[in-house]
Every structure is written in structure tokens, then in C-alpha cells.
Amino acid sequence: MGVLQRIAIAYLVAALCEIWLKNGDDHDVRDVNVDPESSLLRKYQLQWAVTLMICIEFLLVLYGLHVPDWEYQISTNDQTTSVSALKTFLVKCGVRGDTGPA
């Protein structure tokens, strides 16, 4: 997936958390604003728990998944001899947790 698709999924998850993870006493219009005595962290504790779980899962996949080296072949046609040959390319990954450029 591309960057925009991942951002769209993040917005979808955030919207679903906001819809489904509301406290039972949030039906009153006066209670929509955060009161000084109720902390913002306490009011949205379920959303914070989901956020923490998603971050932990992302880090586990990023640093726990090993990406092996791989290769692919492209057939090349020589116009002068009309012989088809396979050209092999090696993609050197063999890393875990690398966020640098490809």
C-alpha cells in the first residue's frame, strides 16, 4: 500500500475508535467538553489503549519481521541473433527494522 492508503486506514481506525469507544455517560451534550476536573487522558483512556496496542503491533512487525534477499529474472531479446536470454537481478535486503531508503 502507498502512503495515502495507510493514512486513510489510520483515519478510519481513529474514526471507528471515536464512534465505538465512547463512555456510557457521554450522551449528555454538556459532557462533550473536557472538564478541568476530569483529565483528558482519563476521558479517552480506551482510545489511548487502542493507540498503544497499534503502536506496539507496528513496532513488533517492523523490528521482528526479517526481510530476506530475493531475486527476479527478466527475459531480454537480442534483436541481432533473435535469442531470448534471462537476466537475473539480486535485491539485497537481509535486514530487520531498516527504515532507510530502498
Tell me the per-residue pLDDT of 1-15, one tens digit each, with 9 for 90 and over: 788 888 898 889 888
Half-sphere exposure of 25 (CA within 13 A, CB side): 7
* β-sheet bridge partners, residue 77: 84
Tell me the per-residue pLDDT of 15-61, one tens digit each, with 9 for 90 and over: 888 888 775 554 555 455 656 666 777 777 888 888 899 889 988 98
Q: How many CB atoms lie within 10 A of CB 33?
A: 7
- Locate the domains of the chain by residue range: 3-64
